[in-house]
Chain A
């Protein structure tokens, strides 16, 4: 909690310095958040090039609008709101353009990874996520399962389980009601399990 408060104070100072035209503060803000924002965007759009471009666009927008940041929420929340909105818009455009081709790639995953994941999801196994993280193929399957979720459900799951935001922060980032976040997260996890089971059949 004290660490979080310190981070927020640091952010406020950096933002203020950035507003006064301090390029050093601007660079520190970018370096501080670029990996987290890139990671979330990549998991939402599943394309490294698009994720890099969207990350860049996010920071440009942040710098452009730094004077409009009112400080009602934390800078961290505000920055993620920009990133998620840009990514969701990008995903919608990509879907309309028919860029997704996940089903075609499903066959390329080897049977061993699928078997390992099936074992993990079985009722009797004890959960060991570290084993999943070590397998590139398994991570690929989970990532593709995420991409089959609805955009808004995927965003909620990633913000909660990857970025570790609480429900209130997620509601702030998505500009949604708390109840909406709860129900959307519940549906997202339920759908994700079904998708994974389907992929492993």
Chain B
């Protein structure tokens, strides 16, 4: 019964608020026409509604707008709220700043990445070649890398020879220079106990010269070859070097191979000098290289050239060798 009254109340309220469907409206109209109590209740509800609706509308204080703006401004000042006005004015500036910041970040990351890569990444064969094999300072006349299809870098080096028979050996060397056809391309400087031959020639000419000098090699008390590099600003020094070793170093197929060969010979000659019975080994002469073999570094599979190496470039003026002959014990 109570629930029924409640439903009737809601229907009556819906009726005076014009929120009923046609069916419910018809039902309410039927009820108020047949039930005086319901009709009386409807009038009371209607009066209540009219009383509340008749309350005068109040007007907001005139300063409301200014107070709202002031409040928003205060919040902007204390950082709670961004100002809608500032937002429009600063939007472009903010966007520009963001773009610049992002660009700066990308640049910084790229630089850092390059630095880290340079530090951590192992040097490749090509890089090593470039670092080790480049010509010494001021010599720009040859290619700096040993990539396929490019020229093999020129050889720069110095051969220091020491002999007790300075005059005899000098005569032998001069004869060998003439026999090799290098008389016109050798600079000569002579001091009291020191003769300097400056050669600028082809590999083929040097090979011929070294072949001629093999016969006099046993008259050298010391023979050291300085192979120039610009890696550390210091040459690779091969002590007790032989004519055959020089030929092999100079005629290496690549810059990397040249430095590798020089280092190998330096090590093997050093070991040979430290072995007991040096006299026996010395007697072996040039064959020491055949007796003691140290494996050379080889390129990894990934770095091995997959194509046939190109033909050697024209072999002219590729050797710059200074021979320093010193007399005395």
Chain A interface residues (CB < 8 Å from chain B): 18-23, 26-27, 30-31, 34-39, 42-43, 48, 51-52, 55-57, 59-60, 63-64, 66, 120-121, 123, 127, 129-130, 132-133, 139, 142-143, 146, 157-158, 160-162, 166-167, 182-183, 185-186, 189-190, 192-193, 196
Top 8 A-B pairs ranked by shortest CB distance? A21-B88, A38-B60, A129-B54, A161-B52, A129-B50, A34-B60, A133-B54, A21-B84
Q: B-side binding surface: helix, strand, loop or mixed?
A: helix
- Taken together as a complex, chains A and B put the C-alpha atoms of A166 and B61 apart, in Å, by 27
Q: Of B9, B10, B49, B84, which contacts A26 at CB under 8 A?
A: B84
Q: Are B56 and A133 in contact (CB under 8 A)?
A: yes
Could you give, for residues 5-20 of chain B, a 1 whenever the CB lies within 8 Å of some chain A CB and a 0 otherwise? Answer: 0100110111001010
Interface assignment of B171: CB less than 8 Å from any CB of chain A = no
- Taken together as a complex, chains A and B put the C-alpha atoms of A129 and B54 apart, in Å, by 6
Interface assignment of B59: CB less than 8 Å from any CB of chain A = yes
Least CB distance from B48 to A in Å reads: 5
Residues of chain B lying within 8 A (CB to CB) of residue A39:
57-60
Q: Are B47 and A35 in contact (CB under 8 A)?
A: no
Instruction: Select from chain B the residue with minimum beta-carbon distance to A142.
Output: B51
Select the stretch in B38-46, B198-206, B281-289 that faces chain A: B38-46
Task: Give the number of chain B interface residues (Cβ < 8 Å).
Answer: 44
Interface assignment of B75: CB less than 8 Å from any CB of chain A = yes
Q: Are B52 and A121 in contact (CB under 8 A)?
A: no
Q: Of B17, B44, B50, B60, which contacts A55 at CB under 8 A?
A: B60
Residues of chain A lying within 8 A (CB to CB) of residue B19:
166-167, 182
- Taken together as a complex, chains A and B put the C-alpha atoms of A130 and B9 apart, in Å, by 26
Interface assignment of B301: CB less than 8 Å from any CB of chain A = no
Given A21-B84, A60-B72, A127-B50 in contact, is the A52-B64 Cβ separation under 8 Å?
yes
